[in-house]
Structure 1
Amino acid sequence: MAVPKRKMSKARRDKRRANWKLTVPGLIACPQCHEPKMPHRVCSECGYYDGKEVVKVEAE
């Protein structure tokens, strides 16, 4: 069994546990209304996906 020769410091040990940062989701412009939306999802502003109206969006 592998046994460490020296004690690992807290700084070196805790560096491995610091991978908590999130990445920003990539946004694209909707081809219908040109609002930013996530790719492969229905636009929340106009309700279109792949050039077709999928969801009716009520006007506020």
Structure 2
Amino acid sequence: MAVPKRRKSRSRTRHRRSQWKAQPPALSPCPCPRKELVPQHRACVHCGLYRGRQVISGNDN
């Protein structure tokens, strides 16, 4: 089994791990007049629209 010949320094390890960042969720405006930001590929919880169709009964108050 392959085993590293030398120990990786703390600096090298931390430089490598610095690229592991959490990304904010991608939000897009809903096509309804309110333009609420909703996650992509999800129905809007406010109006119930998904890809221009009414798929759930929305809470449009």
> Which interval holds the TM-score relative to the shorter structure?
0.5 to 0.7
How many residues matched? Answer: 58
Larger Rg: 1 or 2? 1
Structure 1 stretch displaced more, 45-54 or 13-22: 13-22
TM-score using structure 2 length: 0.63
Where 1:12 maps in the other structure, the secondary structure is helix
Partner of 1:3: 5
Unpaired segments ≥5 residues, structure 1 = none
Partner of 1:23: 23
Runs of 4+ in 1 over 2 A off after TM superposition: 1-4, 7-21, 57-60
Deviation at 1:31, TM superposition (A): 0.4
